[in-house]
Amino acid sequence: MAAASISSGRPGYDTPTGEFRILNKELMHRSNRYENAPMPYSEFFTSYGAALHAGGNPGEPSSHGCVHLPPAFAKKLFTITDVGTPVLIGA
């Protein structure tokens, strides 16, 4: 078991909630929608691009719908999960 602070989707870019599974993993993804923004340790859980990944964590919602994780935590999580691993996103 582990815990970390996160930054979710800012207003207008809400992070989806519910039960998901990791659909795809990429060590270093670049956003197709947001100016090639880096998304290290990406673990996609929706078909439209929402992912768990390393990113800014200012203590408030700041993403475009993804779940931003502290870099060290995102790296660790990436190494212990597989495609198909359940993901639960709560409100």
Domains and CATH numbers, the chain: 18-89 (2.40.440.10)
pLDDT band at residue 91 using 50, 70 and 90 as cut-offs: confident
Q: Does the pLDDT value for residue 30 go beyond 80?
A: yes
Burial grade of 60 (CB within 10 A; 0-12, 13-18, 19 or more):
exposed
pTM for the model: 0.93
Report pLDDT digits (tens) over 41-84. Answer: 999 999 999 999 999 999 899 999 999 999 999 999 999 999 99
Q: Is 73 helix (H, G, I), strand (E, B) or coil?
A: helix
State the pLDDT at residue 76: 97
Average pLDDT, stretch 13-33?
96
